[in-house]
Structure 1
Amino acid sequence: MVAAGLTLAALLWAAQPTPSHAQSNPPAAGEPTPAKVKELLDLLAEPAVRDWLVKQRATPAPPPAAETPSSPSLRERVAGVREHLATLAAAVPTVPDQLHRAASTLMLELDEQGLLWVLFLIACFVALGVGAERLYYYLGERVERWIIALSLDSVEQRLRAVVVRLAYGTGIVAAFALGSVGAFLVFKWPPLLGEIVVSYLVALLIVRLTLVASRFILAPGGERFRILPMTTPTAYFWHRRLGLLVGWLAVGWVTVDLLGRLGVTPDVLRIVAYTLGLGLLAIGLEAVWRQPRPLPEAAPARGRLGTTAIPTLLSVYFVLLWLLWVSSAMPLFWLAVVVVGLPLAMVATQHAVNHILRPPGAADAGAETPGLYAVSLGRGLRAALIVGAVLLLANAWHVDLAEMTAGDTLTTRLVRGALNIVVIALVADFAWHVLKAMIDRKLGETQAAGHVDDEDARRRARLRTLLPILRNVLFAVLVVMALLMALASVGIEIGPLIAGAGVVGVAIGFGAQTLVRDIFSGMFYLFDDAFRVGEYVQSGSYKGVVESFSLRSIKLRHHRGPLYTVPFGVLGAIQNMSRDWVIDKLSVGVTYDTDVDKVKKLVKQIGKELQAIPEFSPHILEPLKMQGVEQFGDFAIQIRMKIKTKPGEQFTIRRRALAMIKKAFEANGIKFASPTVTVAGGADPSAAAAQQALDLVRPPPAAT
């Protein structure tokens, strides 16, 4: 109450007349002074009260609390669109009069110069800009020839070419701007004339900048320098259409702004802008239907429906955009732009990055796995495009992100959590693709050919075995971490979830002991380096080449074709037949009358000849030699030989060695022993055979 009374007193004191005014209007004589007013005047006469009032007047009043704009409902939006269209319909009859009035105002302002003089000035300064650009070309002719002669074989050379061409194109735009807009700004002009000329010069500068940027990206005249891969006719087509589209947009924008300065009402300005927008729509439709089609051999035949479906859908999309713009439904307009434009922008950006950063010697960016730099830059640009699209939509939908981060309502928490989830997903996607690119590049390096006994080849084989497992583990870890962080950003407590997951994990461990045993057994097999991809192993009744393996099983391809999938838990002891070396033993049987020393010399000679063969020489670690007599058999002397080779090569070497042994033994009179059966009797064998033949043909004697 005291503060209210003092405030009222301050207002009355501030509103009291000045002394001169009070003396000129004295109170009426005999008029009684109320006691309350006298007390108030006495209170105001005190110095302390006057000082307090002065301080209160000097202190600025707190600003009124800003009302939080509520988002309009659907009914309100529809009503707003109807009202907007009704306003435009009511303003249509006034368009000719307002345009005529604006033209009259313009002619009055430019009475001394005239419209032709303005057009002449614009043409002159554009010519100055073109002349300055030509001078830049003349002075930079040697630089241009040097750029054309640049080598683009490696990634570093292509990046250097991109930087040099960007700097050269920036110089072209700067020369045009200096010769046109810069020359105009040197002189002093009438306000309206200067504004008109400089506005259209800026519009032309924007067009020139667009053409330079398009030439930098599409390179219609130089396929070697093209950043976005496409055919040359397609590059020329889109280069011209981009220049036409941006030129129409820039000139229309400047014209509408000039009409507004000449007194045209906002409704008529919108009608003029929407009418000029029909030109943009026509350019878009013409580009959609007349764009170069891919060659039949470059793209699969899609039939008539396939060749017309996409242009038809794009035409409907462009018409829908124009209708949304005319209806002033800008949130939906920008949403439609982002929904279609964002995926196209991401795909084009990734193609451009892969094309520029393709590995040396690769003519096509899709022919090989993208490198680490290509994946990092591509995913980074993709994240930037998504963030930019989110900011654009937030601005179009009038969403205050700063207020949303500070608010604590249910809606703000949900939206804030959704934004955090988007950021987490982008970071996880970037990290996963970078790690995957690193692992894939390492796997590509392990595919290089090398000698089996080379230590580097063994290291590559081990990496080829372990890296796929590491890639799967990293993917699982990133997914789990991203999921937990996303839940935490929404406000869900992840501590109980982790504890519950631990309990569930223990229960699953007890219920799936076989699975757990398989996983742990596989981990220890990998730690022990028991096998690698491509090695031939045997375990019990399972044997074959290791094709691949997962966390719980291994796939073995038998040499006859069957594929075994064996869990690690039942694999048991591993016999690896592809490590280090193999000793292959051969046995032959010779007759008892054979000279063993001669056989030894022949085997030694065969070993030297075998090692001299270029096909077998790299794979023979120790030559073929005779170990000695293994045993005396029933019909032969068993000779044992051995040869030491690299794993997997012993089979072909054995076959050649046996063939050479047979040939050498036959040439030196050494006979291979074979079991024989000799039947002997007391009489002549030939006479006995003849007697049996006679008995067969002789008739039996007659019975008596």
Structure 2
Amino acid sequence: MLATTPPFRFLVLVLSVCLAAAMVPASAQSLFTSSDGVSAETAPEVGSAIDTLVDIIKDDAARAELIERLEGLQAEEQAASGPEAATQSADSSLVRSVAEATTGMVQGAYASVQQVWRDLRGIETLFATLPDEKRRRMNENALPLLGTIVATVLVFWLASFILARLIQPQKWIRAKTRAVRATLTVLINLLADGLALAIAYAAGNVIAITAFGGGLITVEQSLYLNAFLVAGAVGIVIRLFVRPRRPDHALLNLSQPVQATAYRWLSLIAGLLVYGLTVAVPIANLWTTFLFGRSLRLIVVTLAAGLAIFAIRQVSRMIREDALAQPAEGTPPQEPADAEAGDRIPLWQKLWPPLAYFYVAVCYVIAVVYPALMGDLIGGATVRTVIAGALVALAFRFIGTPARARIAAPAWLEHSLPGFGGKLNVFMPLIFRIVAVFVVLAAMIYVLDAWRAIDVESLLGRDQALDLSGRFMSAILIIAGVLVVWALVVSWIDNRLTLDLPGKNVTARTRTLLSLFKNAFSVVAVVFGSMMALSQLGIDIAPLLAGAGVIGLAIGFGAQKLVQDIITGIFIQLENAINEGDVVTVAGTTGAVEKLTIRSVGVRDLNGVYHIVPFSAVDTVSNFMKRFAYHVAEIGVAYKEHVPAVKEAMEEAFERLKATEHGASISGPFEMQGVVALADSSVNIRARIKTRPGQQWAVGRAYTEIVKGVFDEKGIEIPYPHRVYVRPPEEPQPATIEKQPAGKVTETED
């Protein structure tokens, strides 16, 4: 049992190692003697040592003493040399790593320079004497190759010219939005260019077989035709981004001179790389030597990199000049200051030149140092980068035209709910920008994965990626569904609020409740839509709900006025105290209610001033619009007038009022209350007229005007405030001074 335990096995291993280490000097010394002597001398010693070790292990006391001594020796050794050895090991490891990295960089750079120099020296082999076999092959295949080149180019130009005349998408595309028209135009042009390329490639193969090959295609012709197909495909991709003759049909929204320059440089560089690396270099290997082919490859790559750097600089300068030449909206064109000029240049125009320079540098280093990776890494990564660039360009087009994005609702729906399309179109700019941002992020991840900066497949397995994409689609569909439902409900409410048909007029109470329901439904739609979308994305919404409860509790304690506003508003609505359109007095302010929420009321007074009154400040609500109203007419007449005659005149004025258009607003008989006051200069007589709610002011104004006319007809005086100064009779008259003609002044008395 003891022999199978891990501590015992470890002890046996340590003892065996120590025994072997002790035997090393003897065995090393015996190496210089005969091997027979070694075996004869050491065999008894080994057997004796093993017997001694077995005896110690069998004896418990001896074994314990041995273990204690070994542990003591190990502890002393660690205490003496442990920290210093660890420090020296760490220091030496760090220094060694830095030295190895530096040495590797220097050696790699030196090897790269040597490789480039060897490739350049391969040009010397061109002047060497070529074998007769290669000379004969060059003479036999040069003319068929030249004929194939001329034939394919002519067929391609002719096919492109004919298809450009036959297919003109701008004449028959009738899309309503500019972005959709541009996208359809780009796709149709892509198909036309692809058809022309396919026709030219097929014609080139037929001509190569029949006219120049005698039924066979040479290697040189095959290389050229494949390169022609690749170069044509690259040209089609270039024309997706820039199209000099039709700038509005390109993905990049650039001016015509910029597109022409960019197209010229891109076509030149792409043709140089495609035909140089896939035609010229292989043919040079076939016709001359492999060393000359490597030299030619280096020359082609270097020339293409230099042209690319020059092209990037020229195109970026032209784009910058175009941006500076466009004056800011509302300002005349002028020379802008440096700070203003920098602000007017879009962000992407500042970022793309450094990224392009970096791309050219990376491609050049890989092509020179690791030419075997050109097709796998540079080719595949470049294609994926171009695809990502197309997506980003399309996203920027949508970002630039969100204000013109519109959704046309069906005619029957617009007839039933006229505001449905407008409600949805409010969110279209935001939706376009969000989609564009997601497209840009996806393109960035796609490019990083293409250049092996990150490995998406290792970070996200296929099942996880599919699950994540499904979750995103579900979240997007939920948000879209919530927006559609919200637009339908709000459009229906607005349609009911504006409905003005015979027998279907909306009451003030209904209008108020619908307005409150619209606000509440909007909040509920935002909250529940967000929660459902987050839940689909895999986010646990339980902590969010708990956090919302805590926040609500904190708001309840910290914002007691807000809570009081809401509670008071709820009770005001339950009691139907205020409705939209009512004339009320709240918090000392009288006016018409224009807006009513759950926590405040908006009132516009007689002077047109708009007041927002929180319900926490409302102690009393005075509503002038409940069930019925009264116009109180209190009219003062002179003391000399006969009161019964005045009453008859007021009743006559009421009868005349009933005969006007205001008669429909009168809902009760004339209520004469009689004399209510003997004022300083008038006798005040009061009467009331019962009217429909809200009509008391119009009826009162009309009645007052009629009363004035009746009083004038009957000679009833309406007094006005005045005072009579009565002088005491014994008071002497004041003296007057009159001016005499001779300049004398005389004093007279009245």
Query: Shorter-normalised TM-score: what interval?
Result: 0.5 to 0.7
Q: 1:556·1:563 contact (CA, 8 Å) conserved in 2? A: yes
Once residues 205 and 80 of structure 1 are traced to their aligned partners in structure 2, the CA distance between those partners, rounded to angstroms, is 41
Q: 2:234·2:270 contact (CA, 8 Å) conserved in 1? A: yes
Of residues 338, 350, 353, the one that matches 1:318 is 353
Name the SS of the counterpart of 1:641 in structure 2: strand
Give the AA of the match of 1:669. Answer: K
Show the counterpart of 1:196: 224
Q: 1:549·1:555 contact (CA, 8 Å) conserved in 2? A: yes
CA separation of 1:212 and 1:677: change in aligned 2, threshold 3 A: closer
Matches within 5 A, 1:232-247: 235-237=255-257, 239-240=259-260, 243-244=263-264, 246-247=266-267
Once residues 391 and 101 of structure 1 are traced to their aligned partners in structure 2, the CA distance between those partners, rounded to angstroms, is 43
Give the AA of the match of 1:250. Answer: A
CA separation of 1:243 and 1:101: change in aligned 2, threshold 3 A: farther
Give the AA of the match of 2:228. Answer: Y
CA separation of 1:115 and 1:571: change in aligned 2, threshold 3 A: same
Matched, 1:349 2:398: yes
Of residues 299, 302, 305, the one that matches 1:271 is 302
Give the AA of the match of 1:631. Answer: G
Matches within 5 A, 1:198-213: 198-200=226-228, 202-204=230-232, 206-208=234-236, 210-211=238-239
CA separation of 1:283 and 1:472: change in aligned 2, threshold 3 A: farther
Show the counterpart of 1:290: 321
Once residues 250 and 569 of structure 2 are traced to their aligned partners in structure 1, the CA distance between those partners, rounded to angstroms, is 47
Once residues 266 and 234 of structure 2 are traced to their aligned partners in structure 1, the CA distance between those partners, rounded to angstroms, is 8
Once residues 189 and 589 of structure 2 are traced to their aligned partners in structure 1, the CA distance between those partners, rounded to angstroms, is 67
CA separation of 1:422 and 1:357: change in aligned 2, threshold 3 A: same
CA separation of 1:127 and 1:170: change in aligned 2, threshold 3 A: closer
Name the SS of the counterpart of 1:668 in structure 2: helix
Matches within 5 A, 1:591-610: 592=643, 594=645, 599-606=650-657, 608-609=659-660
**TM-score with structure 1 length normalisation?**
0.59
Pairwise CA distance, 1:432: 6.1
Show the counterpart of 1:627: 670
Show the counterpart of 2:274: 254
Once residues 640 and 400 of structure 1 are traced to their aligned partners in structure 2, the CA distance between those partners, rounded to angstroms, is 88
Show the counterpart of 1:305: 339
Once residues 690 and 313 of structure 2 are traced to their aligned partners in structure 1, the CA distance between those partners, rounded to angstroms, is 85
CA separation of 1:476 and 1:118: change in aligned 2, threshold 3 A: same
Give the AA of the match of 2:153. Answer: A
Pairwise CA distance, 1:538: 3.9
Pairwise CA distance, 1:195: 3.0
**TM-score with structure 2 length normalisation?**
0.56
Once residues 587 and 622 of structure 2 are traced to their aligned partners in structure 1, the CA distance between those partners, rounded to angstroms, is 9
Pairwise CA distance, 1:695: 8.6
CA separation of 1:386 and 1:557: change in aligned 2, threshold 3 A: farther
Pairwise CA distance, 1:126: 2.4
Q: 1:446·1:461 contact (CA, 8 Å) conserved in 2? A: no
Matches within 5 A, 1:489-638: 516=563, 518-522=565-569, 537-539=584-586, 541=588, 561=609, 563=611, 565-568=613-616, 571=618, 574-575=621-622, 584-589=631-636, 592=643, 594=645, 599-606=650-657, 608-609=659-660, 622=665, 627-633=670-676, 634=678, 635-638=683-686
Range with bigger deviation, 428-437 or 626-635: 428-437
Once residues 402 and 229 of structure 1 are traced to their aligned partners in structure 2, the CA distance between those partners, rounded to angstroms, is 31
Of residues 186, 197, 204, the one that matches 1:177 is 197
Once residues 238 and 143 of structure 2 are traced to their aligned partners in structure 1, the CA distance between those partners, rounded to angstroms, is 32
Matches within 5 A, 1:670-685: 671=716, 673-674=718-719
Matched, 1:639 2:687: yes
CA separation of 1:190 and 1:609: change in aligned 2, threshold 3 A: farther
Pairwise CA distance, 1:326: 1.3
Show the counterpart of 2:710: 665
Query: Cα deviations across residues 267-317 of structure 1 (Å, max 9, x unaligned)?
Result: 666535433422442343233233253234446986343225666985675
Pairwise CA distance, 1:629: 1.7
Once residues 265 and 98 of structure 2 are traced to their aligned partners in structure 1, the CA distance between those partners, rounded to angstroms, is 34
Give the AA of the match of 2:406. Answer: L
Show the counterpart of 2:214: none
Show the counterpart of 1:391: 446
Pairwise CA distance, 1:420: 10
Query: Cα deviations across residues 434-468 of structure 1 (Å, max 9, x unaligned)?
Result: 85797589779949977699429986765554444
CA separation of 1:496 and 1:693: change in aligned 2, threshold 3 A: closer
Name the SS of the counterpart of 1:112 in structure 2: helix
Once residues 109 and 663 of structure 1 are traced to their aligned partners in structure 2, the CA distance between those partners, rounded to angstroms, is 123
CA separation of 1:689 and 1:398: change in aligned 2, threshold 3 A: closer
CA separation of 1:351 and 1:190: change in aligned 2, threshold 3 A: same
Query: Cα deviations across residues 328-359 of structure 1 (Å, max 9, x unaligned)?
Result: 6999x999999999988645323335424277
Q: 1:199·1:254 contact (CA, 8 Å) conserved in 2? A: yes
Q: 1:227·1:355 contact (CA, 8 Å) conserved in 2? A: no
CA separation of 1:383 and 1:160: change in aligned 2, threshold 3 A: closer
Q: 1:543·1:558 contact (CA, 8 Å) conserved in 2? A: yes
Of residues 458, 479, 495, the one that matches 1:403 is 458
Give the AA of the match of 1:121. Answer: A
Matches within 5 A, 1:145-184: 145-147=171-173, 165=185, 168-169=188-189, 172-184=192-204
CA separation of 1:130 and 1:471: change in aligned 2, threshold 3 A: same
CA separation of 1:327 and 1:178: change in aligned 2, threshold 3 A: closer
Show the counterpart of 2:163: 133
Once residues 239 and 532 of structure 1 are traced to their aligned partners in structure 2, the CA distance between those partners, rounded to angstroms, is 62
Once residues 578 and 74 of structure 1 are traced to their aligned partners in structure 2, the CA distance between those partners, rounded to angstroms, is 89
Q: 1:132·1:176 contact (CA, 8 Å) conserved in 2? A: no
CA separation of 1:229 and 1:304: change in aligned 2, threshold 3 A: same
**Structure 2: runs of 5+ lacking an equivalent:** 1-96, 210-216, 286-292, 367-376, 410-421, 736-750
Q: 1:546·1:555 contact (CA, 8 Å) conserved in 2? A: yes
Matched, 1:124 2:154: yes
Name the SS of the counterpart of 1:193 in structure 2: helix
Once residues 102 and 454 of structure 1 are traced to their aligned partners in structure 2, the CA distance between those partners, rounded to angstroms, is 98
Range with bigger deviation, 163-172 or 122-131: 163-172
**Structure 1: runs of 5+ lacking an equivalent:** 1-72, 361-366, 408-415, 612-619, 680-684, 698-704
Pairwise CA distance, 1:324: 5.5
Give the AA of the match of 2:451. Answer: A
Once residues 545 and 398 of structure 2 are traced to their aligned partners in structure 1, the CA distance between those partners, rounded to angstroms, is 39
How many residue pairs end up in the alignment? 568
Query: Considering only CA atoms, is the larger Rg found in Structure 1 or Structure 2?
Result: 2
